[in-house]
Structure 1
């Protein structure tokens, strides 16, 4: 089996070209980065912001901050990828102006976060679509195909060899070795883990009995901290398999498995297939709180089923940094801000969601 890298690159170039043409609307050509810079320049407010949280969105934040600060000399944003759980705790403790999280605030966290917003509430604002890649290190095996039950058994140490019949049945013609699988999971509390295990719990109920959580609960395997730690561990461990955001998989040049979706297709992860995977998401929050419920069954043709939406946790009212927060997020939620992520392994928010995020940001005071 050969991974069709040329197809992936072509799809990526096509997506980038489409976004660029959309941004133009005329004969004058402009790039997504040009559009992002223009949006940033129109939203400048002096001030400094300190934030931390999701490492899944760290590459996106770095790109946004670079563009925003280049256009807004008196604006400073410091974002540290300390993991989702740490970011939420920092927000609750009052040491972060906003938090990045791969999951919306949980029921027990919401009132604690609300308490930091005098006269308002803590909003869950979806900002970054970061598809979760199933990455592996297996010499001579390209385009590995896996379904949810098989993934569940691998990460629960029930399938321990690469030539297991369950894997072989989905990869006819592949030369699978009789060697051990090293399943690598996040050792720190992570929204990526929460979303990955949520996918398993929704699509492989009979084989995954741990539900979903930021902390890893299944038996066996080996742990690595943060997204870059996962990428490093897989790259340096023959026979390893793990889960990490697409941007980290791409940056580390890791092999990515095709995952079977609810339409019965083994789908390659691209920006387009990830976008299709998020189109069916429903808003569970009320008002300007935009907590999403993702349909992991992903029955849409061509949809990649393991998608992650990272949120910004921010006060709707009452923050002493309301003006710079509103300005920065006005840029990140803009069409230009979203398009600026196209080359980094992220997918833009679907317009139906992006427009609601933009409206919510406009209400921050």
Structure 2
């Protein structure tokens, strides 16, 4: 049976979980035909799952949940997934504290947090499962400048105070023929702990030719700019502030109708598109060496000079227990993730994400099936 993923279904999600009140009332799911009869999701286990974390994947999660509801309704089961886009750091913290069933995070859980997560999972390791790929936009609000070109070095200097005017010679050199105003740049950065910030700062370490010296991490280290909470927060701040610039997931830049800079990775300017981001993702490798954990090694693409590859891409993970769930929770987590990894990917490109490559789907499905 073909069903429409629609705003009405998202209303069911919101009505069914009070925790979604914190997420806002945006309807970000696209109307996409879903072949419910072809889904391998079992819709078994407990009726309602709880999750929190990455705001970068909020729009994708809306789509996953509405699709899952449609699939399970067709199978005679009422289900819900309450997802609060409270930030990657908060999601990992809540997961460790056993307050939610799984977490969304733009950075893999590791180190001390991974050890704490294993305790939460009854001695079993937590797995990082990449479910959503999203290019990060360098989004800006500059009247009369529609095709801005930046590179790793100029982006770094904008966000550490090394460049403060839009007509700085370094920006002008990348934008021959453009009329750049003699006006101040207003950087907007994430005020909350964010995997997006971590990934952007890792990109700047790799691509800025030494201009970024303050390190990476989930908290912004550049020392300049106004802070705003969440992906929606920084996008809204730039939309309302002439001369502003931020880093934000492509879906949020699109939603707020922001201009997006092209990035010159050394082989000429590259526009952010599904194809250019996909070209960069194809070069990603798994950092993990075995088991069901699928942590990615994305560092190799941040400094890529491959022609036509948009290098600023992050993967959003679902952090799950590899074992240790009760039977009902395990069944529900596996069922939801199975749906999200398959029919849930339909239409993600319309929201600024890059659907999972087939090779990732196959490996991801193996890990989902292995959850205990």
* Alignment TM-score > 0.5, same fold: yes
Q: Which runs of 4+ in 1 moved over 6 A?
A: none
Query: Quick check: 1:152 aligned with 2:156?
Result: yes
1:353 counterpart (345, 354, 360): 360
- Provide the rounded CA distance (Å) in 2 between the counterparts of 1:76 and 1:125: 21
The match for 2:129 among 107, 125, 131 is 125
Structure-2 residue corresponding to 1:15: none
1:160 touches 1:181 (CA, 8 Å); kept in 2? yes
Question: Residue by residue, what CA displacement relative to the aligned partner does 1:118-158 show, whole Å, maximum 9, x if unpaired?
Answer: 25210000000011000000000011000000110010011
* Matches of 2:84 and 2:258, distance apart in 1: 24
Q: How far 1:323 sits from its partner (Å)? A: 0.5
2:43 maps to which residue?
44
Q: Supply the RMSD in Å over aligned alpha carbons.
A: 1.6
Q: Are the counterparts in 2 of residues 135 and 249 from structure 1 also a CA contact under 8 Å?
A: yes
Q: TM-score, normalization: structure 1?
A: 0.88
Residues 39, 331 of structure 1: 8 Å contact kept: no
Alignment of 1:273-352 (within 5 A): 273-285=276-288, 286-294=290-298, 295-320=301-326, 321-334=329-342, 336-352=343-359
Residue 268 of structure 2 is matched in structure 1 by: 265
Question: Displacement, 1:70?
Answer: 2.1
Q: Specify the alignment match of 2:8 in structure 1.
A: none
Deviation at 1:87, TM superposition (A): 0.2
- The equivalences for 1:210-221 within 5 A come to 210-221=214-225
Distance 1:327 1:71 in 2: 11
| Shift, 1:217, TM fit | 1.2
Q: Which residue of 2 aligns with 1:99?
A: 103
TM-score (norm 2): 0.86
Shift of 1:34: 3.0
**Unaligned stretches of 5+ residues in structure 2:** 1-29
Distance across 2 between alignment mates of 1:315 and 1:340: 28
Query: Does structure 2 conserve the Cα–Cα contact (< 8 Å) formed by 1:283 and 1:293?
Result: yes
* Offset at residue 184 of structure 1 (A): 0.7
Which one of the candidate residues 225, 234, 238 is aligned to 2:229?
A: 225
The 2-side partners of 1:337 and 1:223 are apart by 33
Cα deviation for residue 39 of structure 1 reads: 4.9
| SS state at 2:138 partner | strand
